[in-house]
A and B are shown apart, each in its own frame.
Chain A
Amino acid sequence: MTTLTNANFRSEELTQKLVASIRAITTRPWNIMEICGGQTHAILQYGLDQLLPAGIQLIHGPGCPVCVTSLESIEQALKIARQDDVIFTSFGDMLRVPGAGQDLFSARASGADVRVVYSPMEAVKIAALNSQKKVVFVAVGFETTVPSIAQSVLHAKRNGITNFTILPANVLVPPAMHAILSSPENRVQGFLAAGHVCAVMGYWEYEPIAARYHTPIVVTGFEPVDILNGILMTVQQLEAGMHTVQNAYRRAVTREGNLTAQGIIAQVFEPVDRNWRGIGLIPLSGLGLRPEFQTFDVHEHFELGHETLAESPLCIAGSVLRGVATPHDCPAFGRQCTPGTPLGAPMVSSEGACAAYYRYQRVKA
């Protein structure tokens, strides 16, 4: 029986040991950011922040790729989806993110052919089966998801599936960390790095960031025991005044990462500037298709234009995503902006900070 099943990393006994250790060493308040939506989700699902000593503040970072996909990309997605000869494919996460007016879910209700897929390869299969239609896949996600998209493009090219294109919207983690840590408003003292991003990319890229900003960074997994372990190691460093990169997810992550996967990414994509919703332009923080794969970019096939679109004036998503404000600081939170009527992306995604704060209410005594 393998040790690798998740059950071992959810044990109540181990959880208690880790919590006791964290309490034993914490002498001061610390702000720790987790930059992965999956970690935010796990923290809420298991109520992990209820177990931590009061001084440890977990800040939910811009780790929800759906939350940071630019308004312009979403509007382009909607424009494409509404066309008659298009089958628009997407991960489920994107369907209810509001554009300037509609979202993909309501576009589907209005007659657009929008299909949820669990893998970009599924979108390629749909293209192969529907040669008379244009199949477009909206490529969101951090580095974890990029190999799957890159490989799907390679597969489409190899098999001559020319009616498959992507709307490039992938983003990279290290530039986002730079943007957060270099901001004068920054409150983050320690980082939990995203374990699955690091499974692909390794963690050597974080070493210069930790050194430059004197911030400890600990590669962390997603089960309760993994997250508490990551927090423990971060607090240990903070208490000792250290700022190195450590790995708390050793069963899945090595320093170099998965070189084959990195090779597949580099073959198909190259870094480009990208607009992060709520944050703004971060140089070389996104991925675009290399020239030899440009035919798989939806921009080559559709006239999409470039509009500057306005967000709801009430929405402070950018400040929330950067960790400089909490949803409670937002005047619209819980009033005009709720999961049913979201004004911004962090209220939509199940691990966006605003939806997290909203759904995870304190138990009313």
Chain B
Amino acid sequence: MTQAGYPEMQGPNCPLPISKREMVVIGHGSGGQLTHELIRDVFQSRLGNPLLNAGNDSALLDLSQALPAGQRLVVSTDAHIVSPLFFPGGDIGRLSVCGTVNDLAMMGAQPRYLTATFIIEEGFLISDLEKIVDSMAAACSEARVQLVAADTKVTEHGKSDGIFISTTGIGWARSTPRIAGDQARPGDAVLVSGPMGNHGIAIAQARGNLGFQSNVVSDTAPLNSLVGQLLAEVPNVHVFRDPTRGGLATTLVEISRQSSVTIELDEKAIPIDPPVRVACELLGLDPLYLANEGKMLVILPAEFAYTALRVLRANPLGNQAAIIGHVTERPQPQLLLKTTLGTTRVLEMLSGEMLPRIC
């Protein structure tokens, strides 16, 4: 565990506990006895691997065998402040691991190592912390990554909304051809790995103030195995991207601009689970702008579209994959949607937060 750079040294600020604590206290962040116990009992016991357990200031990674020629190192970092912390289908722990794993996977990289920092508010329940770390351990195992370095700080009550987690991931990807947002080309097919909007609705429901119940769960999942399987059969994918904040529409507008192309979608082809559709109608939300945390867009030459579809559908995470559109060329980059009635409209980026409405 990387240690705090500045433990409090002015003498004891709080008495040592005489029994096992139920809540995180300021002393847990000060680098002393309590911190060691927290690290050992909550983190190392769950995430334990030789690198983390070594308890040094940093993790020594031996990449000489692992990084083959022609591969590039890929790094990504992310902060997670989701509210509520626990929601149907996941929690902040699973979200943070999958979020960073997927950022790497979207470059075509295989993630290997993760680091995590935890900023915890005084008063946070240890049992909740344990659940979150359990969740991270499970996600790391699913994604086959190791969490090799971590840090914990504790803030005063009221200063950090429960817990904030920041994760950094390292992996490697082939150098060429590049998989990136500027690689979409006219003639390409656009695929999505599954139904849209589940995570957004699961979060809306968990916030509790919208008065509805459903069995919609978040789709938070690591996508690296799906990416690996796809690249093994279809190496010339042009773009991968996971439609997180802002949803499918915002993500594709970004890509259309980066690649200077027009993308045309067929509304009938976009998979959306019926309860998600209904929840959106009830609240006045648009499923094309809701976040997804376990889905990806794939843009690739059209002749490989059906092969890609087959590979995606063979994996449980992609079993409702669909071809939803294609890339064309027009004087100005746009994202167009052919509606279920055959008319066409332009989709813009989401500006600001999408709020439930009554009108």
Physical contact A–B (CB less than 8 Å): yes
Query: Is B358 located at the chain interface by the 8 A CB criterion?
Result: yes
Query: Is A349 located at the chain interface by the 8 A CB criterion?
Result: yes
Interface of B, helix, strand, loop or mixed by DSSP: loop
Query: Is A255 located at the chain interface by the 8 A CB criterion?
Result: no
Cα A6 to Cα B210 with chains together (Å): 22
Contact: B209 with A122, CB < 8 Å? yes
Give every chain A residue within 8 A of B281 (Cβ-Cβ). 6
Closest A residue by C-beta to B358: A91
Quick one: CB contact mask for B32-57 with A, threshold 8 Å, 1 for yes? 00000000000000000000000000
Closest B residue by C-beta to A358: B348
Give every chain A residue within 8 A of B209 (Cβ-Cβ). 115-118, 122
Contact: A359 with B346, CB < 8 Å? yes
Closest B residue by C-beta to A15: B341
Cα A351 to Cα B286 with chains together (Å): 13
In the complex, which of the residues A10, A46, A141 has the most CB atoms of chain B within 10 Å of its own CB atom? A46
Chain A interface, number of residues (Cβ within 8 angstroms): 43
Query: Is A308 located at the chain interface by the 8 A CB criterion?
Result: no
Stretch at the interface among B8-16, B298-306, B331-339: B331-339
Give every chain B residue within 8 A of A159 (Cβ-Cβ). none
Closest B residue by C-beta to A225: B341
Cα A47 to Cα B331 with chains together (Å): 22
Contact: A47 with B341, CB < 8 Å? yes
Quick one: CB contact mask for B51-74 with A, threshold 8 Å, 1 for yes? 000000000000000000000000
Contact: B358 with A116, CB < 8 Å? no
Rounded to whole Å, the gap between the CB of B345 and the closest CB of chain A is 5
Contact: B359 with A364, CB < 8 Å? no
Cα A360 to Cα B334 with chains together (Å): 12
Cα A350 to Cα B355 with chains together (Å): 10
Contact: A122 with B211, CB < 8 Å? yes
Known: A118-B210, A364-B332. A93 touches B342 (CB 8 A): no
Known: A12-B340, A363-B334. A95 touches B355 (CB 8 A): yes
Contact: A47 with B359, CB < 8 Å? no
Rounded to whole Å, the gap between the CB of B129 and the closest CB of chain A is 27
Query: Is A64 located at the chain interface by the 8 A CB criterion?
Result: yes
- Among B210, B284, B343, B346, point to the contact of A50 (Cβ < 8 A): B343
Give every chain B residue within 8 A of A115 (Cβ-Cβ). 209
Give every chain A residue within 8 A of B336 (Cβ-Cβ). 363
Quick one: CB contact mask for A307-326 with B, threshold 8 Å, 1 for yes? 00000000000000000000
Cα A47 to Cα B336 with chains together (Å): 12
Query: Is B270 located at the chain interface by the 8 A CB criterion?
Result: no
Contact: B345 with A44, CB < 8 Å? yes
Contact: B355 with A66, CB < 8 Å? no
Contact: B357 with A350, CB < 8 Å? yes
Contact: B345 with A47, CB < 8 Å? yes
- Among B330, B346, B352, point to the contact of A361 (Cβ < 8 A): B346
Contact: A12 with B357, CB < 8 Å? no
Give every chain B residue within 8 A of A221 (Cβ-Cβ). none
Give every chain B residue within 8 A of A361 (Cβ-Cβ). 346
Contact: A119 with B359, CB < 8 Å? no
Contact: B339 with A47, CB < 8 Å? yes
- Among B341, B344, B355, B359, point to the contact of A116 (Cβ < 8 A): B355
Rounded to whole Å, the gap between the CB of B332 and the closest CB of chain A is 5
Closest B residue by C-beta to A91: B358
Rounded to whole Å, the gap between the CB of B158 and the closest CB of chain A is 13
Query: Is B356 located at the chain interface by the 8 A CB criterion?
Result: yes
Give every chain A residue within 8 A of B352 (Cβ-Cβ). 96, 105, 340
Contact: A93 with B358, CB < 8 Å? yes
Contact: B343 with A46, CB < 8 Å? yes
Give every chain A residue within 8 A of B357 (Cβ-Cβ). 91-93, 350
Cα A6 to Cα B209 with chains together (Å): 26
Contact: A45 with B339, CB < 8 Å? yes
Query: Is A179 located at the chain interface by the 8 A CB criterion?
Result: no
Cα A339 to Cα B341 with chains together (Å): 27
Interface residue ranges of A315-365 to B (CB < 8 Å): 339-340, 349-351, 359-361, 363-365
Contact: A118 with B356, CB < 8 Å? yes
Query: Is A51 located at the chain interface by the 8 A CB criterion?
Result: yes
Contact: B356 with A340, CB < 8 Å? no
Contact: A359 with B348, CB < 8 Å? yes
Cα A118 to Cα B336 with chains together (Å): 31
Query: Is A38 located at the chain interface by the 8 A CB criterion?
Result: yes
Query: Is A56 located at the chain interface by the 8 A CB criterion?
Result: no
Query: Is A266 located at the chain interface by the 8 A CB criterion?
Result: no
Contact: A141 with B358, CB < 8 Å? yes
Rounded to whole Å, the gap between the CB of A42 and the closest CB of chain B is 11
Return the 4 tightest CB-CB contacts between A and B, nearest first.
A47-B343, A92-B355, A92-B356, A93-B357
Residues on B lying within 8 angstroms of A by beta carbon are 209-211, 281, 283-284, 330-332, 334, 336, 339-346, 348, 351-352, 355-359
What are 28 sample pairs from A and B whose C-beta atoms fall under 8 A apart?
Answer: A6-B281, A12-B340, A45-B345, A46-B339, A46-B341, A47-B341, A48-B341, A51-B343, A65-B359, A91-B356, A91-B359, A92-B358, A93-B355, A93-B359, A95-B355, A96-B352, A115-B209, A116-B209, A116-B355, A117-B209, A118-B209, A118-B211, A119-B211, A122-B209, A122-B211, A224-B341, A339-B351, A365-B331
10 new A-B contacts, CB < 8 A, other than A91-B356, A118-B209, A119-B211, are A10-B341, A12-B342, A45-B345, A46-B341, A51-B341, A92-B284, A93-B357, A122-B211, A363-B336, A365-B331
